[in-house]
Amino acid sequence: DAKTTQPPSMDCAEGRAANLPCNHSTISGNEYVYWYRQIHSQGPQYIIHGLKNNETNEMASLIITEDRKSSTLILPHATLRDTAVYYCIVRVAGGGGADGLTFGKGTHLIIQP
Amino acid sequence: DAGITQSPRHKVTETGTPVTLRCHQTENHRYMYWYRQDPGHGLRLIHYSYGVKDTDKGEVSDGYSVSRSKTEDFLLTLESATSSQTSVYFCAIGTDLYEQYFGPGTRLTVT
């Protein structure tokens, strides 16, 4: 699996867009980028994933650079409830998906009031 | 939220006793997983299942066993609990595309 690099922590003002970067310079062509987050004391929560096109859902947007070596998760209007540790994970998708996810240290996003 | 529950949510047990944690899903997903989370280590995979009676070991499987006799239930057993198994245990269910949905967790303390 490709290795990812994320800043250990970030601050963002409530109501502003939170942009969380992730570097994955060794990503392979068949590897997807996944984002999860974990709010204190809760189980991780799936946010979004993508291969090479930008993706958007009700929670966030995922922007993947053209060379796929980095990506940015965007929370468009951050609220205090978005304070969490955000994990960027790169992994091959498909039938071999049985063997779990590898969570790194992630980025601790703190939304300031 | 995905239909996934864990029981018990909290448990305190003594060293050497057997412990079984249960994960139950109502989503009919094929894949199920057990992770543990400890300070400084993040989430680590213990065991996973890719179907009824089909299981395999994860990164930290020593001291743990699992069983899956039906699609909706995945049991994690500590045959003889040790203090090093004090942790928060998360069950997850998953699809082929790695969208995993996690349960609320079980906080286990081994004294």
Instruction: Please give the structure tokens belonging to residue A48.
Output: 């979004």
Tell me which of A103, A105, A108 to substitute to probe the interface with B (most B C-beta atoms closer than 10 Å): A103
Nearest beta carbon to residue B43 from set A32, A41, A44: A44
Answer whether A93 sits within 8 Å of B97, measured CB to CB: yes
Strands B106-110 and B10-13: parallel
Answer whether B31 sits within 8 Å of A98, measured CB to CB: yes
Strands A107-112 and A9-13: parallel
Q: What is the pLDDT of residue A103?
A: 87
Burial of A9 (0-12, 13-18, 19+ CB in 10 A): exposed
Answer whether B45 sits within 8 Å of A94, measured CB to CB: no
Question: Mean pLDDT for chain A?
Answer: 91
d(CA A86, CA B46): 22
- DSSP annotation of A99 reads G
Listed by number, the residues of chain B in 8-27 with a beta carbon closer than 8 Å to a beta carbon of chain A are none
Query: What is the end-to-end Cα distance of chain B in Å, rounded?
Result: 33
Is pLDDT at B40 greater than 60 in this prediction? yes
Q: What is the pLDDT of residues A10-64, one digit of tens each?
A: 999 999 999 999 999 999 888 899 999 999 889 999 999 999 989 999 999 999 9
For chain B, the residue count is: 111
Answer whether B97 sits within 8 Å of A49, measured CB to CB: yes
Tell me what the mean pLDDT of segment B7-15 comes to.
97
Residue in chain B closest to A47 (alpha carbons) equals: B99
Answer whether A97 sits within 8 Å of B95, measured CB to CB: yes
